Amino acid sequence: MPGIGFGTLGNVGDAGCALVEAALAEGYRYIDTSRYYGNEEAVGKALARSSVPRGDIWVTTKLLHPRTPPQPDLALELEKSLRLLQTDYVDLLLIHWPPADENFDSAIDSLCAAQSSGLARAIGVSNFTIPLMKRAAKRAALPLINNQVEFHPLLDQSRVREEAEKLGIVLSAYSPLGRGAVLKDPTVVEVAKRLGRPPSEVALRWIVQQGVVAVPMTTKKENAKSNMRIFDFELSPADMAKLTEASKQNRRLISPTGWAPKWD
């Protein structure tokens, strides 16, 4: 899995397609989408139009597992995603939010079946807490390689990262700039000014330097280009420590009623 991905939330229709094409041309090789985003079709058109070979692109999509009956046929839902994405497989399939307790095991079983069928090369989860992550890993007949969670310098997810590592699960960070709030944080701004870097690059660098995959979302080509520059520098141990301390503010920004679990 590449160290940085291109998040597509909010990028829909022809404009979304063009932005994904531009991201691929800029060097992104990880495209992250979801059925919930309503843009799998736009992403699929971009993949088809791009000169980058499909085999060089890591495509992740996420499927919701409703918390009330009737439960979906995950295989059929994934096949629909593949048609929209114009591809025979996804590199990573995630369950977008934790299923209800009574549906938990069957959801994980269906996820593993998707990989066994070859429709998904790898599988994982999203928004799973430490107990849910452990339960999923224990239930799964195949390795879960990823848990995509809210992760940025305003939210301490160190315990989740440490437990994920023990389970062989890599974290990926959605909303890595905290919906813009990170860009105004005094600590992030101070480090950025001293290094002569945009706050966005400093925040993303802090994430990837911990072994977490950053998946920033943007609707602007210039921001997409800037985000790719995070591999041009490293943060010192002192700056990493400052940003980690800032994360103890624990400003969780995404917690939808009815879907969000009891957070760690």
Residue 88 lies in a domain: yes
pLDDT in tens, 82-119: 999 999 999 999 999 999 998 899 999 999 999 999 99
Is 89 annotated as catalytic?
no
Specify the number of domains making up the chain.
1
- Is 48 domain-assigned? yes
- The pLDDT assigned to 165 comes to 98
- State how far the Cα of 261 lies from the Cα of 27, in Å rounded to an integer: 35
pLDDT in tens, 223-258: 999 999 999 999 999 999 999 999 999 999 999 998
Assigned domain for 118 exists: yes
- The helix-helix angle for 158-166 and 130-139 (nearest 10°) equals 20
Q: Residue 180: inside a domain, yes or no? A: yes
Q: What CATH number should be reported for the domain holding residue 208? A: 3.20.20.100
Asked whether the predicted pLDDT for residue 65 surpasses 80, the reply is no
The span from the CA of 1 to the CA of 205, in Å, is 17
Q: Given the structure tokens 């993303």, which residue do they identify? A: 204
pLDDT for residue 62 is more than 80:
yes
Distance CA 195, CA 209 (A): 16
Q: For position 63, what pLDDT does the model report?
A: 95
Distance, CA of 174 to CA of 217 (rounded, Å): 8
Q: Does residue 106 belong to any structural domain of this protein?
A: yes
Position 73 confidence tier, pLDDT thresholds 50, 70, 90: confident
Give the pLDDT band of residue 68 (cuts 50, 70, 90): low
Output the pLDDT for position 216.
Answer: 97
**Does residue 98 fall inside a structural domain?**
yes
From the list 28, 30, 36, 37, the catalytic residue is 37
Confidence of residue 70 (pLDDT cuts 50, 70, 90): low
Q: Is residue 17's pLDDT more than 60?
A: yes
Which domain, by its residues, includes 52?
A: 6-249
pLDDT digits (tens, 9 = 90+) for 7-16: 999 999 999 9
